[in-house]
Structure 1
Amino acid sequence: MTKTAEQVWKSCLTIIKDIVEWQHFKTWFEPIKPVELKNKILTIQVPSQFFFEYLEEHYVTLLAKTLKRELGKDANLEYRIMMDSGNNSNRPITMDVPGHGYKTYTNNEMDFPLVINNPVKNPFVIPGLKKVQIDPQLNPNYTFDTFIEGDCNRVARRAGKTVADKPGATSFNPLVIYGGVGLGKTHLAQAVGNEVKRQHPNKVVLYVSSEKFINQFVDHSRNNAINDFIHFYQLVDVLIIDDVQFFSRAEKSQDAFFAIFNHLHQSGKQLILSSDKPPKDLEGVQERLLSRFRWGLSADLQMPDYETRIEILEKKMKNDGLDMHKDVVKYIAYNINTNIRELEGALISLLAQSSLNKKEIDLDLAKKVLKNFVKTSSKEITIDAIQKMVCDYFDVPYEKLLQKTRKREIVQARQITMYLAKTFTKNSLKTIGEHFGGRDHTTVIHSCQTVKDLMDTDSMFKESVLELQQKVQLAAM
């Protein structure tokens, strides 16, 4: 009895199903439809050009052996590729292709010369080009040069640079960047993408937020084009997905991303993900995805320290051609210690006020503007409280701080305490001196100047003073 195309293909699938992983079988074989069997040539219909190319690259040997087992050594395979014609015709345009060859595009009535550079629908095309390309969706200002490195982000930044040098060829795949709002996750992720484009111009890079990914998936679902959606993303060499925590409310989008993730990872392509929390703390995300997120490196971004905040402000000023007194920069960096976004926002507000009111940017204007950014102190810090902090920090007995001694560690602790008392309290120099065994105002002035001089010449001393400044400020919040 003569077999039909459906019977032959069903027998082939029974064999293939036992050989190929279940997920790969679902993705690459279930969408195939048998069309015709004639002269031992089986024609199968596939959804897209990319689908055909993937089968030819990865499963051509398996298909050939399976088909020859069913039809004999003279068996051959042809593909019918469904194409989007771009016109209003209801007739599907197809391309019949024998294994390792190409024929003419037809719409079942006439030969139709189509030039299809990218048959899969592309939601990120660059219009006006003869050859359709994928727009990477990257902000050119987000580079490694504009991303200041500090203790708060060193691991993540250096991991990103390693990935950019050799995308898909390191153990940092995927690279998961996580941290709070405004700490630079998007900047760093896109910096990797921009660096890849610079070093490897032939690599296909794409940045997309998880929300846009979900919206695209929903649109393709309505149009019964989920396969096209998945196949498009599988064309990418470096895929950057921002804010993956939002996948928690999109179960079906997670299924699509799972298929995309698996294909890219197995193909040696690079994935970069950002999140507001580490993978282990993501709720509502499938465990099979979370386990894959943990395959590579998870690197966190923390709040920048005082020195890093100064560098960020100075870099921003340099890029924008601005000039500002060092004391103002220090004041902003010292008082805005939440995130980089607020730091840059404070700088922009200060510049706006200066421009609108035609006032020079000085410390008084900075204090006025930063009232909108800095919480008002709920309590006033006292000299006694500062003395206790300094004594605890340097492990110096309180009574030693008041005594007349020339021991270097005691003298420096007392000088720093006077400096902090002058900076953070409203007390007069005379009152400050009285809290240190009745010393006069000239001693306080000398102590403050000594601290400033040492901070300019001794980095370890400066680090101690800055750390104590932060402690005092926190106590005053």
Structure 2
Amino acid sequence: MEEMNAVEVWKRILKILKWNINETDYNSWMLNVKPIDLTEDKLILEVDNKFIKDRIESKFKEKIIEILNEILILKGYKDLEFRIKENEDNKLFFQKEEEPIKQEKKESKQSKQYKIQQNLFSKGYYNLNDKYLFNNFIVGKSNEFAHAASEAVANAPGKVYNPLFIYGGVGLGKTHLMHAIGNSVLKNNSNKKVYYCSSEQFTNDLINSLKNDKMMEFRSKYRKLDLLLIDDIQFIAGKDSTQEEFFHTFNELHQAGKQIVLSSDRPPKEIDNVEKRLVSRFEWGLIADIQQPDYETRVAILSKKAEMENIKISKEVLEFIAETINSNIRELEGNLNRIVAKASILKKEINIDLVKDVFYDVVKRNNKVVNKDKIIKVVSEYYEISIEDMISSKRKKDIAKSRQVAMYLLRDILSESFSAIGGIFGGKDHTTVMHSVSKIEKDMKENKYFEKDIMSLKEKILNNSN
């Protein structure tokens, strides 16, 4: 592999990262990161301020490190370092927050983030992804009712279907429709106050407001909106204070003729631990469900995604993906991303052979049950090592080897994260797992007999599942 500099490595990371996190996060946090240097042991990135640095480190650092080390797998383990861009705005902004530390108690990170969020909102930051529009939403039998209802609400907010309650499984397009409603309303009238958030964000905002004695500002923020869109409303279940505050927010907006749009993974009556008065209000307007897309819709979704991303891919490949993946849009697009990522890394053309190689485990697992327990059991039996020893911290050579093989297969077959695999094996650090997986891959390249053993194990796991 030819040597790559920091810019080239970061470009590759972005290309893969774009397919592993949602578009809102990607556009909000990744596009302004600047690669500075690639040293022997780390990639150095520059960000605009401490808020962005903290956000990326807490939410995305592990994933970026994982991709970085997959790209530079033969170059030894590399870490990640973030530096804050030096400029006067940053100095002034953060001095205002940090100067009182010398005289008073240190202000919490949550408190600082709260201030920033309030500042962004006052400037018209409505948390909408402008890529989610009605004209790039693929309509099929599974979602046509929810789509039509969403368009009706966008064309006459507060006049019809209030609230609009959209429910369905993960990755079926609920969030896309919610953003499309918000974007459409703002396009028709840019003076409208529109805000999209998850129920978790609503709860966190409430907690921060209570802590900082800012409830007047909180209520002003949410109750003066023309359109409030809250995703995953089911997560307010069991949160009494959140339900109480949302109840009054709902009433205020509804009585003022303002539009409310909610999404959930289930219909209102099936959400447990939510007050009946709230469930009743969820049902005041229109309830629209989204089902899993049929074959024709799946092909259309993939075609649209390929067109938007300028991906050169044949109809044969798209149809093969649509036939193989029949669950949800997120998984469809995720697997298309896996194919594009592999083609990009290997610098190969996307064809049916490459796709079949990427989908090897998916095809083999079709109608079979493969889980972590099955993989660990098969490896345990193969090496004649007890499961108890395998998941322990014992370092005896044969035990360590079987443990590394199990880690590799969990990663290869189930695409488990390094952290998740570490949790299975007694809470081992993700870097330990990363090294173990890399070692097995290296041993397979150097020893064809060992590679055959691993392939035999993989076949046994995939073919004997039922």
TM-score interval, smaller chain? 0.5 to 0.7
Gaps of 5+ in 1: 1-85, 88-120, 380-475
Distance 1:154 1:145 in 2: 13
Q: Which position in structure 1 is the counterpart of 2:146? A: 156
Q: Which position in structure 2 is the counterpart of 1:337? A: 326
SS, match of residue 329 in structure 1: helix
1:152/1:375 CA distance change after superposition, 3 Å:
farther
Cα distance, 1:331 vs structure 2: 0.3
Distance 1:139 1:185 in 2: 13
Q: Which position in structure 2 is the counterpart of 1:391? A: none
Give me the TM-score of the superposition, normalised by structure 2: 0.53
Please say if residues 140 and 194 of structure 1, whose CA atoms lie closer than 8 Å, have aligned partners that are also in contact. Answer: yes
Please say if residues 350 and 361 of structure 1, whose CA atoms lie closer than 8 Å, have aligned partners that are also in contact. Answer: yes
Cα distance, 1:376 vs structure 2: 2.0
* 1:241 lines up with 2:230 in the alignment: yes
Q: Which position in structure 2 is the counterpart of 1:312? A: 301
* 1:187 lines up with 2:176 in the alignment: yes
Equivalent position to 1:125, from 119, 123, 136: 119
Please say if residues 175 and 298 of structure 1, whose CA atoms lie closer than 8 Å, have aligned partners that are also in contact. Answer: yes
Distance 1:307 1:217 in 2: 43
Following TM superposition, the consecutive aligned residue runs of length 4 or more in structure 1 with deviations greater than 3 angstroms are: 121-127, 372-375
Cα distance, 1:359 vs structure 2: 2.0
Residue type of the partner of 1:357? L
Distance 2:367 2:248 in 1: 53
1:137/1:286 CA distance change after superposition, 3 Å:
same
Please say if residues 125 and 134 of structure 1, whose CA atoms lie closer than 8 Å, have aligned partners that are also in contact. Answer: no
Aligned length: 260
Matches for 1:424-435 after TM superposition, within 5 Å: none
SS, match of residue 287 in structure 2: strand
1:221/1:378 CA distance change after superposition, 3 Å:
closer
Q: Which position in structure 2 is the counterpart of 1:295? A: 284
Distance 2:185 2:361 in 1: 39
1:227/1:344 CA distance change after superposition, 3 Å:
same
More helix by share: 2
Please say if residues 136 and 206 of structure 1, whose CA atoms lie closer than 8 Å, have aligned partners that are also in contact. Answer: yes
Matches for 1:353-368 after TM superposition, within 5 Å: 353-368=342-357
Equivalent position to 2:133, from 143, 151, 162: 143
* 1:270 lines up with 2:267 in the alignment: no
Matches for 1:396-415 after TM superposition, within 5 Å: none
Q: Which position in structure 2 is the counterpart of 1:281? A: 270
Distance 1:275 1:146 in 2: 22
Equivalent position to 2:242, from 239, 243, 253: 253
Distance 1:315 1:270 in 2: 30
1:319/1:124 CA distance change after superposition, 3 Å:
farther
Distance 1:217 1:310 in 2: 42
SS, match of residue 304 in structure 1: coil
1:122/1:290 CA distance change after superposition, 3 Å:
farther
1:356/1:223 CA distance change after superposition, 3 Å:
closer
SS, match of residue 229 in structure 2: strand
Equivalent position to 1:230, from 208, 219, 222: 219
Please say if residues 122 and 134 of structure 1, whose CA atoms lie closer than 8 Å, have aligned partners that are also in contact. Answer: no
Residue type of the partner of 1:233? Y
Distance 1:338 1:182 in 2: 9
Matches for 1:1-12 after TM superposition, within 5 Å: none
Distance 1:260 1:182 in 2: 28
Q: In angstroms, what is the RMSD of aligned CA positions?
A: 2.4
Please say if residues 312 and 350 of structure 2, whose CA atoms lie closer than 8 Å, have aligned partners that are also in contact. Answer: no
Please say if residues 177 and 273 of structure 1, whose CA atoms lie closer than 8 Å, have aligned partners that are also in contact. Answer: yes
Q: Which position in structure 2 is the counterpart of 1:31? A: none
Q: For 1:45-101, what per-residue CA distance to the aligned partner results, in whole angstroms no more than 9, with x for missing partners? A: xxxxxxxxxxxxxxxxxxxxxxxxxxxxxxxxxxxxxxxxx99xxxxxxxxxxxxxx
Cα distance, 1:353 vs structure 2: 1.3
Please say if residues 230 and 259 of structure 1, whose CA atoms lie closer than 8 Å, have aligned partners that are also in contact. Answer: no
Percent of aligned pairs sharing the same letter: 47
Distance 1:284 1:303 in 2: 27
Matches for 1:58-73 after TM superposition, within 5 Å: none
Cα distance, 1:226 vs structure 2: 2.4
Cα distance, 1:125 vs structure 2: 3.4
1:305/1:253 CA distance change after superposition, 3 Å:
same
Cα distance, 1:374 vs structure 2: 4.2
